[in-house]
Amino acid sequence: MSTTTTQRLSRLLVATLFIVLLALMATLGVRSADAAQPVGECPTGYELVTVKYGLKGANLEEPDPSMDGNGDGYTCLKILDTGAGTRATWHDNNL
């Protein structure tokens, strides 16, 4: 392999590693945003949970606007036993 080809491959490798590093940094930045602290508290009788937890438990793909009005990634969840089955209700943690 010639020196020119080796230099080109080295530059390509460095550029590829740089792009991978940027992608990793962006991913870690998103994860740290998910780990933000809750903005407020819950009403009495509700449990503070992440919106992701609430979506998973309710079999939803997108949150209801009332789940996270303040945008902090947390909501207040209350499980209700209605006698006819288990239901859930949520309230944003804005207290």
pTM over 0.75? The answer is: no
Residue 38 has pLDDT above 50, yes or no: yes
Note whether 94 and 65 are within 8 A (CB).
Answer: no
Secondary structure class of 60 (helix, strand, coil) = coil
Dig out the tokens for 3 from the structure: 């020196």
Q: Where are the alpha helices (DSSP H) in 1-95?
A: 3-34, 51-58
Question: Binning pLDDT at 50, 70 and 90, where does residue 23 land?
Answer: low
pLDDT band (50, 70, 90) for residue 65: confident
Indicate whether 95 pLDDT > 80: yes
How confident is the model over 43-53, as pLDDT tens digits? 999 999 999 88
> Higher model confidence: residue 10 or residue 6?
6
